Amino acid sequence: DPRPTTSTTTTTCGYCGVGCTLDVHVRDGEVAAVTPTRGAPVNRGHACVKGRFAHGFTRAEDRLTTPLVRRDGRLVPTTWDDAVRTVAHRLAAVRDRHGPDAIAMISSARATNEENYLAQKFVRTVIGTNNVDNCSRLCHAPSATGLSASFGLAGGTNPLDDLDHTDCVLLVGANPTDAHPVVGARIKQRVLAGARLVVVDPRRTELAALADVHLQAVPGSNVAVFNGLAHVLITEDHLDHDFLDRRTTGFDALAELVRDYPPDTTAEIAGVRAADLVAAARLFGQARHPAIVYGLGVTEHRHGTDGVRTLANLALLRGAVGTPGCCGILPLRGQNNVQGASDMGALPDLLPGYQPVTDAAVRDRFSAAWGRPVPERPGLRIPQMFDAAIAGEVRAIHVIGENVVQSDPNAEHVRAALRACDLVVCHDVFPSRTAEHADVVLPAASFLEKDGTFVNFDRRFQRVRPAVSPPGGAASDFAVLHRIAHALGADLGCPTPADALAECAALTPVFAGLSHQRLDAGGPLHWPCRAPDQPGEAVLHLDRFATPDGRAALAALPHLPPGEQPDGEFPYLLITGRRLEHHNTGSMTRRTPNAELLPAEALEIHPTDAAHLRVVDGADVTVTSRWGRAALTAHLTRDVVPGQVFAAFHFPGATVNDLTSPHTDTATGCPEYKVTAVQVRPG
Ligand code: SF4
């Protein structure tokens, strides 16, 4: 359309955790085009195929624009007043009959910080329980717990820009070319400019093909690999002794433990060559400014938190974190605001800014400000919510902006949990597989229609601004939560998103300097940002670590086996992940031209395995696990090794999470998406 657009709004991408700044151009009230904002600090004028072209969903024909209430077994349109009254009445009934702990809320990494703040405040003060969690439970909860244990704070240590001066990237369990394309491009540019690259990943990704060393370690062996690398760093003395002496604890215990991980032993556990392991350790050990970038291939394991901690050891051994000029450790967050949802306290044990609900002084401060007592007992994590629903202990689940039936593991268990509830409430932009189980479906605004902030993967608060109005009766989660609270006789305060961030900042020392006004005037700010006249801290831990003794804690942790292993009945190992063209459950990207670029999912399988199974490229295959079944087509590729298969979870027809197991990280409850034993059959 050659006509000029009528307005341009600068906002933050709502897809991945990079958080690119985008200009949204509007004509006749609809998004006409999206371009990366020139000079924006995060993406420097770049954006990927999702941020640039996946915006047409805003006016998709099947967009939810009217609340739906289930009557006589069918979801039927109703008014907002009726829908809100129904939710409030039935939540109150569950609370009165079974107590507040019978209600649970799953908040959202798609929602703004202000919506997440309001969601956890609603659950804690209006309902009276700590049963609130968000999808970081399914991806980076081990990062929050692991980085807190090692360094004292639950965030990556350095900004993305520090990759500009690294001379060696250790990229682990991440495929940023597909999942975080702007970061993938940044790493590639750096490598083409001469930086060394070590990749630890069971798949041959684009960056793995470019790497100096690619350790194709068997899924579930991360801790062994990191301990093996630490073994070489220590035995060959690639250590920053001064840093270790002054700023860490636990070196002797770590050195003792990693004696058991010499290259030959580690190589056998991980299925890699010992010489490659030594070469990788030397590249990392001899670099002057090594950087660690990692993703869900580290966290989504039975021992994911141990993986984060033993990976953090490598940065500490080299003094590559908390020192001038260091490049630190960067966890690549999956969804746009998964960092922010946790920062805002949408967690069962932590209030905003990671302040523990079990700390009486913290609780008293929030209770006094909110005018209602914050419950003391930590609430349920998402997997525990589903278990409790099946056990009859949780009777109502309120889901904001998540399609848990498609995204959470062991989907039949999730469906059974939703069926067992007296009430399921769902806010979403589109009808979803989760909405099929809901009693009330509330039409939600998308990120292109919202006011607030997101926090990206390097701890930057960025403004989210409405470029267009939500269609029909769709409304922001912020407005919906206010209405439900009001119908329950409560007032959540903070009438605007700016008020919500101001209230959060007043109660949370690490966010004390943040406000919409400041972000509008000066652009993005990293947290911690402790006062209105202070810049945010882009690099953490320069003076001291945020641990009680000010020192980072090296972790001596052994390799332990994953939740399940291939066997005669289920001889292949399934890894799940993401594709470039789509985002998570695909509800937005599948309704855009990106669907033409990638219209369906296929199971990646090695040609040797395919030949053994008598399967050709494009043939139908049935995949079964101990937990469920999925029908896919085969895609023959040498990007996976024999014995391993790979699929993404973007398409509801490819029920990949019917296959994944209930095994979770022992420390945080994060599901083990990366290790599922499966059988593959033709047909
Ligand atoms: Fe940037 Fe990620 Fe959005 Fe792509 S999906 S434009 S990399 S924030």
The one-letter code for the residue type at 340 is G
Closest of 463, 570, 578, 465 to residue 521, by C-alpha: 463
- Please state whether beta strands 30-36 and 21-27 pair in parallel, antiparallel, or not at all (unpaired): antiparallel
| CATH dotted code for 7-59 | 2.20.25.90
Show the beta-strand stretches assigned E in 407-513: 423-428, 440-443, 452-455, 460-464
Q: Whose structure tokens read 């999470």?
A: 657
Centroid of ligand 1 to alpha carbon of 18 (angstroms): 6
Tell me which of 18, 188, 581 to substitute to probe ligand 1's pocket, judged by most ligand atoms within 8 Å of the beta carbon. 18
In whole angstroms, how far apart are CA 59 and each of 182, 247, 412, 448, 449?
27, 54, 32, 11, 12
Strand order through the sheet with 525-526: 452-455, 460-464, 525-526
pLDDT at 65: 97
Buried b (16+ CB within 10 A) or exposed e, 536-571: bbbbbbeeebbbeeebbbbbbbebeebbbebeeebe
pLDDT at 655: 86
Centroid of ligand 1 to alpha carbon of 143 (angstroms): 21
Bridge partners for 35 per DSSP: 23
pLDDT at 5: 77
Tell me which of 12, 34, 50, 338 to substitute to probe ligand 1's pocket, judged by most ligand atoms within 8 Å of the beta carbon. 50
Average of per-residue pLDDT across 613-637: 96
Contact 627, 660 (CB under 8 A): yes
pLDDT at 599: 85
For 82-101, write each residue's pLDDT tens digit. Answer: 999 999 999 999 999 999 99
Element (H, E) at 103: strand 103-106
Centroid of ligand 1 to alpha carbon of 49 (angstroms): 8
Q: Using the atom order of ligand 1, give the atom closest to the CA of residue 36.
A: 6
pLDDT at 445: 97
Centroid of ligand 1 to alpha carbon of 52 (angstroms): 8
Compute the distance between CA of residue 495 and CA of residue 478 in angstroms, rounded to an integer.
9
Centroid of ligand 1 to alpha carbon of 484 (angstroms): 33
* CB neighbour class for 607 (10 Å; exposed up to 12, middle 13-18, buried from 19): middle
Domain boundary assignment for the chain = 7-59, 68-136+337-451+465-496, 141-332, 572-682
Closest of 249, 240, 171, 251 to residue 204, by C-alpha: 171
Structure token pair of residue 280: 């990788």
Centroid of ligand 1 to alpha carbon of 336 (angstroms): 8
pLDDT at 571: 98
pLDDT above 90 coverage of the chain, percent:
87
Q: Using the atom order of ligand 1, give the atom closest to the CA of residue 43.
A: 1
Kindly indicate whether the domain formed by 572-682 is annotated with CATH number 2.40.40.20: yes
Q: Using the atom order of ligand 1, give the atom closest to the CA of residue 51.
A: 6
- Give the range among 27-31, 75-79, 357-361, 386-390 with minimum mean pLDDT: 27-31
For 464-482, write each residue's pLDDT tens digit. Answer: 999 999 999 999 999 999 9
pLDDT at 9: 96
Compute the distance between CA of residue 429 and CA of residue 40 in angstroms, rounded to an integer.
28
The one-letter code for the residue type at 593 is P
421 phi and psi angles, rounded to 5 deg:
-75, 155
Centroid of ligand 1 to alpha carbon of 388 (angstroms): 36
Centroid of ligand 1 to alpha carbon of 17 (angstroms): 7
pLDDT of residue 581 exceeding 90 = no
Centroid of ligand 1 to alpha carbon of 506 (angstroms): 31
106 phi and psi angles, rounded to 5 deg:
-105, 110
pLDDT at 359: 98
Tell me which of 12, 16, 49, 339 to substitute to probe ligand 1's pocket, judged by most ligand atoms within 8 Å of the beta carbon. 16
Compute the distance between CA of residue 145 and CA of residue 629 in angstroms, rounded to an integer.
33
pLDDT of residue 426 exceeding 80 = yes
Centroid of ligand 1 to alpha carbon of 561 (angstroms): 35
Tell me which of 11, 12, 15 to substitute to probe ligand 1's pocket, judged by most ligand atoms within 8 Å of the beta carbon. 15
Buried b (16+ CB within 10 A) or exposed e, 391-428: eebbbbbbbbbbbbbbbbbbbebbbebbebbbbbbbbb
Considering only residues 579 and 4, tell me which one the structure prediction assigns the higher pLDDT.
Answer: 579
pTM (two decimals): 0.94
| Closest C-alpha to ligand 1, atom 3 | 51
302 phi and psi angles, rounded to 5 deg:
-60, -30
Pocket of ligand 1 (CB under 6 A): 13, 15-16, 18-20, 43, 47-48, 50-51, 180-182
Closest of 324, 313, 335, 327 to residue 160, by C-alpha: 327
| Closest C-alpha to ligand 1, atom 6 | 51
Centroid of ligand 1 to alpha carbon of 335 (angstroms): 10
Please, which pLDDT band fits residue 155 given cuts at 50, 70 and 90? confident
Average of per-residue pLDDT across 433-439: 95
pLDDT of residue 592 exceeding 80 = yes
For 52-68, write each residue's pLDDT tens digit. Answer: 988 988 889 999 999 99
Average of per-residue pLDDT across 299-311: 97
Q: What is the dihedral of CA 622, 625, 626, 629, to 10 degrees?
A: -40
Tell me which of 11, 21, 42, 43 to substitute to probe ligand 1's pocket, judged by most ligand atoms within 8 Å of the beta carbon. 43
Closest of 326, 372, 214 to residue 279, by C-alpha: 214
Query: Is the CA virtual torsion 17, 312, 267, 219 positive or negative?
Result: negative
- HEC-encoded secondary structure of 377-436: CCCCCHHHHHHHHHCCCCCEEEEECCCHHHHCCCHHHHHHHHHHCCEEEEEECCCCCCHH
Looking at 3.40.630.10, 1.25.10.10, 3.40.50.740, 3.40.50.300, the CATH number of the domain 68-136+337-451+465-496 comes to 3.40.50.740
pLDDT at 607: 98
Centroid of ligand 1 to alpha carbon of 50 (angstroms): 6
| Closest C-alpha to ligand 1, atom 1 | 20
Mean pLDDT of the chain: 95
**Which residues lie closer than 8 Å to 385 by C-beta, 6 or more apart?**
104, 106, 131, 133, 394, 397, 417
Compute the distance between CA of residue 187 and CA of residue 167 in angstroms, rounded to an integer.
11
pLDDT of residue 675 exceeding 90 = yes
Q: Using the atom order of ligand 1, give the atom closest to the CA of residue 182.
A: 7
Helices (H), 155-273: 176-179, 181-192, 206-210, 222-235, 241-247, 251-258, 263-270
Average of per-residue pLDDT across 134-156: 91
Centroid of ligand 1 to alpha carbon of 540 (angstroms): 24
- Give the range among 291-300, 376-385, 524-533, 581-590 with minimum mean pLDDT: 581-590
Centroid of ligand 1 to alpha carbon of 655 (angstroms): 25
Compute the distance between CA of residue 351 and CA of residue 534 in angstroms, rounded to an integer.
23
pLDDT at 49: 86
The CATH homologous superfamily of the domain defined by 141-332: Dimethylsulfoxide Reductase, domain 2 (3.40.228.10)
Centroid of ligand 1 to alpha carbon of 458 (angstroms): 14
For 317-366, write each residue's pLDDT tens digit. Answer: 999 999 999 999 999 987 889 999 999 999 999 999 999 999 999 999 99
Compute the distance between CA of residue 304 and CA of residue 311 in angstroms, rounded to an integer.
10
| Closest C-alpha to ligand 1, atom 4 | 48
Tell me which of 180, 333, 589, 594 to substitute to probe ligand 1's pocket, judged by most ligand atoms within 8 Å of the beta carbon. 180
**Which residues lie closer than 8 Å to 54 by C-beta, 6 or more apart?**
15, 583, 588, 589, 592, 593, 594
Q: Whose structure tokens read 């509008």?
A: 520
Average of per-residue pLDDT across 298-325: 96
Helices (H), 552-619: 594-597, 607-613
Closest of 672, 667, 527, 544 to residue 154, by C-alpha: 527
Q: Using the atom order of ligand 1, give the atom closest to the CA of residue 456.
A: 8
The one-letter code for the residue type at 353 is G
pLDDT at 205: 96
Centroid of ligand 1 to alpha carbon of 43 (angstroms): 9
Q: Using the atom order of ligand 1, give the atom closest to the CA of residue 180.
A: 7
What SS3 state is found at 272?
coil
Tell me which of 10, 11, 20 to substitute to probe ligand 1's pocket, judged by most ligand atoms within 8 Å of the beta carbon. 20
Q: Using the atom order of ligand 1, give the atom closest to the CA of residue 14.
A: 3
Centroid of ligand 1 to alpha carbon of 393 (angstroms): 40
For 239-289, write each residue's pLDDT tens digit. Answer: 999 999 999 999 999 999 999 999 999 999 999 999 999 999 999 999 999
pLDDT at 556: 98
Tell me which of 48, 337, 581 to substitute to probe ligand 1's pocket, judged by most ligand atoms within 8 Å of the beta carbon. 48
- Give the range among 53-62, 299-308, 517-526, 638-647 with minimum mean pLDDT: 53-62
Residue 57 DSSP label: G
Average of per-residue pLDDT across 512-523: 97
Q: Using the atom order of ligand 1, give the atom closest to the CA of residue 181.
A: 7
